[in-house]
Amino acid sequence: MVIVAYIVPKLADYSAAALDAAVSQLLAALKEEVDHAWSSGTAWKAFRDRWIGRKGGLLTQVNDLWLKAAPKDAKREVGRRVNEIRMEVEHAVGKTEGLYLESETATQAPGSIESVDITLPGIRRAIGAEHPVMRTSREMVAVFQKLGYSVADGPVIETDYYNFEALNFPPNHPARDTQDTLFIAGQQAKPLRERLLLRTHTSPVQIRTMENMRPPIRIVIPGTVHRNDPPDASHSPMFHQIEGLAVDTNITFGDLKGTLDHAMKEFFGSSVKTSFRPSFFPFTEPSAEMFVSCFICGGSGRRGSGPCRPCKQTGWIEILGCGMVDPNVFEFVKDNGYDPKKVSGFAFGMGADRIALLKYGVEDLQLFFQGDVRFLQQFS
């Protein structure tokens, strides 16, 4: 059978019937060509370029010959159909690419089974390696699991209530500003506490867990968080936190210090020292930043004859924020056994990406997220 290649026609008129006919003719041609597109790399690339090539691709032609040429009153309807066609075509290109790649990795094209030599060794796929940020996170979580902490999880899309309000952020706190937080669009009609956002920290999981579990609890929470930060060497709109919470009767700041000091020695090596300096967070009181003695220069601030950059020559590296859970936070979950007069607790949070940067001596945070196999292979 001879297949005559489909050509995008000019439209004689823009009636619904004429559009229907033109669209179904185009989709029929697409369907026919899909069947052959994945047979080889050349065929797939030719298919892709023919349909979505920027210069002279069929989609571009549809745009020029149908949409751009349409009279004003028909533009809206033609635009809708052109969008539908675009989705169908892009879907077909993606699907055929997948089929082609599959056929490349299989020993035989699907359907032909005459000569399978079952004694040949199979095709081994590269297993890959754990991503350095995931590995760091898992190792840190494991330190706390050994202390009896369990892993908790929660949604990445959160409400203002869990992300801010229940964590004692006052209504006008600047962290709610869209300059800092990525909100889901179109929610102006909702009350503030119900508005959805990408969580800016893993702390909402603390509230969610306390709503579901009565004290005592000890949890560690790894997860992705988002902030409205443009990407640079030390910032990313998406990054990873590890957070912890312990609540029981008679938990003191001494427990916090002992737990975190032990955890840092487990993670970085028994020779690191820890140091706590006063800080502020809305959900803890008192709050502190914890530093560990620089595990790169051993706390001397110098590397050979030069300065130690990771600790800025101070001999100390800031690793996490922590503090005793603010009684105002317990008020939100008081009914589940968290009476601030009876229980106390501590919380801490750290950035897995930052710790991975320090641990592996990586200079640019973006390298973690670019998916360049040459970079990631160094950690396998």
Cα dihedral value 318, 319, 325, 328, nearest 10: 60
Q: If you write DSSP's letter for every residue of 135-195 in order, what string do you get? A: HHHHHHHHHHHHTT-EE----SEEEHHHHTGGGT--TT-GGGSTTTS-BPSS-TTS-GGG-
Using rule CB under 5 A, residue 308 touches Zn ion: yes
Using rule CB under 5 A, residue 225 touches Zn ion: no
One symbol per residue from 37 to 76: x for binding Zn ion (CB under 5 A), - otherwise; what is it? ----------------------------------------
Report the alpha-carbon distance of residue 356 to residue 123 in Å, rounded: 33
Residue type, 45: K
Instruction: Tell me the closest approach of the beta carbon of residue 314 to Zn ion, in angstroms.
Output: 7
Report the alpha-carbon distance of residue 135 to residue 378 in Å, rounded: 13
Q: If you write DSSP's letter for every residue of 28-85 in order, what string do you get? A: HHHHHHHHHHTSSHHHHHHHHHHHH-TTT-HHHHHIIIIIITS-GGGHHHHHHHHHHH
Whether 295 contacts 268, CB under 8 Å? yes
Report the alpha-carbon distance of residue 124 to residue 106 in Å, rounded: 11
3-state secondary structure (DSSP) of residue 107? coil
Using rule CB under 5 A, residue 357 touches Zn ion: no
Site for Zn ion in 163-202 (CB under 5 A): none
Nearer to Zn ion, 98 or 307 (CB): 307
Instruction: Tell me the closest approach of the beta carbon of residue 297 to Zn ion, in angstroms.
Output: 3
Nearer to Zn ion, 44 or 295 (CB): 295
Instruction: Tell me the closest approach of the beta carbon of residue 267 to Zn ion, in angstroms.
Output: 17
Nearer to Zn ion, 163 or 293 (CB): 293
3-state secondary structure (DSSP) of residue 316? strand
Report the alpha-carbon distance of residue 293 to residue 273 in Å, rounded: 5
Site for Zn ion in 310-329 (CB under 5 A): 311
Report the alpha-carbon distance of residue 166 to residue 203 in Å, rounded: 10
Instruction: Tell me the closest approach of the beta carbon of residue 315 to Zn ion, in angstroms.
Output: 6
CA angle 69, 70, 76 (to 5 degrees): 135
One symbol per residue from 126 to 165: x for binding Zn ion (CB under 5 A), - otherwise; what is it? ----------------------------------------
Find residue 245's DSSP bridge partners: 219, 347
Site for Zn ion in 265-304 (CB under 5 A): 294, 296-297
Size of the site for Zn ion (CB under 5 A): 5
Instruction: Tell me the closest approach of the beta carbon of residue 312 to Zn ion, in angstroms.
Output: 8
Nearer to Zn ion, 52 or 296 (CB): 296
Instruction: Tell me the closest approach of the beta carbon of residue 310 to Zn ion, in angstroms.
Output: 5
Instruction: Tell me the closest approach of the beta carbon of residue 158 to Zn ion, in angstroms.
Output: 36
Instruction: Tell me the closest approach of the beta carbon of residue 304 to Zn ion, in angstroms.
Output: 12
- Which positions lie near Zn ion, rule CB under 5 A? 294, 296-297, 308, 311
